[in-house]
A and B are shown apart, each in its own frame.
Chain A
Amino acid sequence: MTFAERMLSIDRRIIFLVIGLCTLIPLLYPVGLAIKVSPEVRSVYDYIESLPEDSVFLLSLDFDPASKPELYPQAVSLLRHAFKKNLRVIGMTLWLPGTGMANEVISRVAREEGKESGKDYVFLGWSPGGSSVIINMGQDLYKAFPTDYNNQPTSELPVLKGVQNLRDVSYVISLAAGTTGIETWYVFGKDKYKFELGGGCTGVIAPGLYPLLRSGQINGLIGGLRGAAEYEVLIGRKGKAVAGMDAQSATHFAIILLVILCNVFYLLIRTSTRAAEQR
C-alpha cells in the first residue's frame, strides 16, 4: 500500500481529533483575528440605529436549541442594540421547541439592560399556525396573542400602547433556522402589511436567502456565527460569537487543507494506476 493509499484510508477518528483540536485550541488561546463587517449585516445595524426612540421592534426567534450556537448570540446582540436605543421590544417565536429559550434570552438581556417586562418589552411566546399567526397579527395582534408568555393580557401592557397590528411595527427581524422563518415573514407579513423586514439565520439556510436580500425583500441579513460576530463588533460588545471566530477560521483552514490533501493523494493514486495499466 502506497503512502497516498494509506492516507486516503486513514481512520476517520483521526480527522475528528484534528478538527476537535483546531476548534479547542483557539477557544482556549484566542489570537483575535480581525473581523470585517459585511454590508448585509451593517444594513440591519444601520436600520435599527436610524429608528427613533420608542419605535416598535419585533424580534421573532424562530429557532430551537439545536441552532443556539449560531442564533443565540445574534439575538443577544440585537436585543442589546434595541434596548440601548430605547426601542419598544416585542419578542415572540413561531417555533414551539424554542419557546423557553426565547423567553430566557429576552428576560436575561432585558435584566442586564435594566428594562422592565410589560413596560419596555414583552415576550408573547408561541402560538400555533406559523403563517396563520403572522396573518392574524397583521389583522389584530391582540387576537393572535390575547396574553403574553406570563399570562398577562396583552391589551393592558404599556409597551404595546398604540400597537394594533403589524402595520404599527417599525422593524421586524426573524432569526430563523429554517421554515417557518424569514421567508414566511416576508410572504405573509411584509408583502401585505408593509413593514421593514430584516433577517438573521443559520449558515445552512443563508445561501437560499441571498436572492431575497438582493431583490430588497429583506433589508439585511445576519448569517450564522460569523454574522453574529460582525454584529457584536458593530455594537461594540464582544461576546461568544467573536470568541468563536478564531476557532471558526482555524477549522476552516484545516478543512481546506484536508480537501486539498485528499485531492492530491487521489490524483497520485490515479496517476500511478494509469502508469501501471500502460506498462
Chain B
Amino acid sequence: MPFEVILGAWVATGLTLFILTFLYQDNPLFKLAEHLYVGVSVGYAIVKTYDTVVIRLIYEPMVKQGDWSLLIPLAIGALMLTRYAPRAAWMSRIAFAFVVGVGSGLAIPRVISSYILKQIEDTIRPLLTLAADGGATFTYDLLNPASNLNAVVLLVGVVSVLFYFFFSVEHTGPGQAVARTGILFLMVAFGAAFGYTVMARMSLLIGRLTDLIEYAQPQYERATWWLLALTVATLIVFRVRRKGTEPPP
C-alpha cells in the first residue's frame, strides 16, 4: 500500500480519536484536533478559491484568451474591497446593490413559483378523481402518496397549522379544537425531524467507527490500536497532571 495512503489513515484515525475524547471531557487533544480542522478548512477554501476564481475564471480567460470583458465584474467585485478604506467605503455600496438587486431579481419569481405556487397546487389537489366513464374515485391508502386520503390529511394539517399561527382571532370553542389539531401536526413534524436527525448523527458515528475498524487492519500498520493506546495514555497523563492543580470544589 502506498505510503501516503497509510499516512492519511494514521492522520484520520488520530484526529477521529482526538475529537471523540471530548465525550470523556474537554482536553488538549480535542482542542488540537479542533484547531487543526478549522485551520485546514480555511486554508483549503482559500487555495481552491484562488485557483478556481482568480486563476481559472479571471486570469486565464483574460490573459490567454483576451476576454477583457471580465474586467467589468472584476471591477464590481473589487469595489467590495473599498470597505477597508473608510474614505472610499461608500463605493462598496455599488457592489452590494448589484449583488442584492441581481440576487433578488433572480430569486423572488423562481422561489414564489417553486415553493409557494407549486406547493399550494399540491395541497389543494382534488379529493375526488373523475374517471373517464363519468364515475368518481376516492382511494384510501396512507402508504400511497397519490392516495386521496393523504390529500385529506395534508389539507387538514395545512389548514390547522396555519390557523394555529393566526393570532387575530382568539383560539376558543371550535377555534381551540382546530388550533390543537395544528399543534398535533406540528408535534408529529418535529418528531419526524428529530428522528431523522438522530438517524443522521448515528450514521456519522457509524462512518467514523467503520473507518477505525478498517484502519485497525495490518495493512494500515494497525493505526487504530497504536493511536488508541497513545490517546488513552495521554489522557491519563493529563488527568494526573491536572489533579494537583484542580481548584477545590
Contacts and interface: CB of A to CB of B under 8 A. Distances in A.
B45 A224 contact: no
A28 B210 CA distance: 9
Interface stretch (A45-53, A122-130, A162-170): A122-130
Contacts of B138: none
A68 B207 contact: yes
Contacts of B203: 69-70, 202-203, 224-225, 244, 248
Nearest to B102: A132
Interface in A77-97: 96-97
B48 A99 contact: yes
A193 B23 CA distance: 48
Interface stretch (B114-122, B174-182, B236-244): B114-122
Contacts of A97: 41, 44-45
Interface size, A (range): 35 or more
Nearest to A245: B206
Contacts of A224: 196, 199-200, 203
B52 A27 contact: no
B169 to A, nearest CB: 27
A18 B16 CA distance: 19
Nearest to A26: B206
Contacts of A202: 200, 203
A70 B119 contact: no
| Secondary structure of the B contact surface, majority rule | helix
A23 B45 contact: no
A128 B56 contact: no
Interface of B: 23-24, 41, 44-45, 48-49, 52-53, 56-57, 61, 106-107, 110-111, 113-115, 118-119, 121-122, 145, 150, 189, 192-193, 196-200, 202-210, 213
19 contacts: A24-B209, A27-B209, A70-B203, A70-B207, A127-B52, A128-B52, A135-B106, A183-B114, A192-B110, A207-B192, A211-B119, A214-B150, A217-B114, A224-B196, A226-B199, A243-B210, A247-B202, A247-B209, A248-B203
Interface of A: 13, 16, 19-20, 23-24, 27-28, 39, 66, 68-70, 96-97, 99-100, 125-128, 131-132, 135, 146-147, 151, 183, 186-188, 191-192, 202-204, 206-208, 211, 213-217, 223-226, 240, 243-244, 247-248, 251-252, 255
